[in-house]
Chains A and B, each alone.
Chain A
Amino acid sequence: MAVLEVLNARKAFGENEVLKDISFSVDKGEVVAVIGPSGSGKSTLLRCCTILERLDAGCIRYSEDTLVETSADGSALYADKTTMKRIRRRFGLVFQSFNLFPHLSVMDNLTEAPIHVAGVDKEAAKKKAVELLAKMGLSDKANAYPFELSGGQQQRVAIARAMALDPEILFFDEPTSALDPELTGEILKVMRELAQEHMTMVVVTHEMSFARNVADRVIFMDKGVIVEQGDPRDVIDHPENERTKLFLQKISEK
């Protein structure tokens, strides 16, 4: 069964149509890489899925919960508050710029939402945080503050924070783009491990090797539409569409 289903999603900023009739779905345990040139709407798509932006029309479903559907008059109809709250717990989002809370220790960054949003008791939240930090190789950093960590470490804390509420699906928006090149490896390694554990993930990325070697499926977006999608080895190594070919050529020249 699909964890996430997006149907005929449309979104415009004023005159600028950023998403034009986007449809795709993500199955449980699947890793989907989203690639495409700058301005093609990748971030906007993730932001609509994570309710940071609202669709103009279309449907987004998380398992049996409907976040938004098109009403009879063609406009987007969003779920009520309780459903929305439940849906927020179904996903996690990792930002390009980490967005850790600077005034909270690493431990508090991980437990703040479980305790105050989900009502998990303190001890259980801490236990979970300790497990996640161990998994991220950051066991010794529980009491550190974000400013004391390297970019790579901050991003790993951010991944742990996104996982603290046991989401069914994790979104990543260029998780390595804000990092020095020598630090991207540690993040990709963590994400590869998550993939091996069958964490469902949607990853916007410019790391073609990650898309090729880790993703189960690649979606190529350009100018607000999905141009091509499929097995990474087909899409990346033998693209059929001219736009895909052009994009991949440009990327490999860098």
Chain B
Amino acid sequence: MDGFLAWLQDFGSLFGQLAEGFGTTVLIFLLTLVFALPLGMPLALGRMSKCVWIRKPVEILLLIVRGTPLMLQIIFVYFGPYFLFGIPLSGYRFPATIIAFSINYACYFAEIYRGGLESIPVGQHEAAQVLGFSKKQTFFRIVLPQVCKRILPPMSNEVITLIKDTALAQTVAVMELFRVANAAANARTSLMPIVLAGVFYLFGSFVITRVFNFAERKLGYYR
């Protein structure tokens, strides 16, 4: 009986640690979405711009960001200021993580947005133009609503990848779920923390899937 109580107490404290780590994971996840979702749109439009001086730099940025590991980018953003300008790094772990994640995911979102924007038939733009809609009105009233519906499936994939990618924040020692679980597993020489962490990630993915299913149903009123 005592043994069970002790185990329960121990499990409780482990669960508490992991829950805290999961809190950090969710924070990285949400902040990345807050910045990357809007930032992807100007990047997508820049990528589609007729002006070479806008399109080319954006293309190069996308190439670099999508062509190198996120882990490398996190390290680069974290140590960059120190090596380039000699600025000390205290308290910069978390912001650096958010910056790297936001830029990385904005670039992936940009390509999804671009696919969505290009899939809208020219006729939609022309019909709006003939009716007298301004460019801005056409974008927000006619094009964007249709793009949102079309990009839901690829966005759902990307966002589920994001919740799992947050584990990469451990690269700069941010105490997110995976780092906490790994440390606990080493301390206890037990797989339990890792399994529990897996359950947390699974729960996150489940919630995301539900949100996207809901959105798809919401936008399912037309074809």
Contact = CB atoms under 8 A, between A and B. Distances in A.
A215 B132 CA distance: 28
Given A95-B123, A95-B126, A145-B221, A103 B133 contact: no
B126 A52 contact: yes
Interface string A85-105: 100110111010101111100
Interface size class of A (residues with CB under 8 A): 20 to 34
Interface string A131-149: 0000000000000011100
A70 interface: no
Contacts of B124: 99, 101
Contacts of B141: 112, 116
A63 to B, nearest CB: 17
Interface in B112-158: 121, 123-124, 126-133, 137, 141-142, 145-146, 149
Interface size class of B (residues with CB under 8 A): 20 to 34
A41 B126 CA distance: 18
Contact of B123 (A89, A99, A118): A99
B223 interface: yes
Q: Which of B127, B221, B223 has the most CB of A within 10 A?
A: B127
A3 B37 CA distance: 48
Interface of A: 50-52, 85, 88-89, 91-93, 95, 97, 99-103, 112-113, 116-118, 145-147, 161-162, 165
Given A99-B127, A101-B124, A102-B223, 13 more contacts: A52-B129, A52-B130, A92-B130, A100-B127, A103-B146, A113-B131, A116-B133, A117-B132, A117-B137, A145-B221, A145-B223, A147-B222, A165-B132
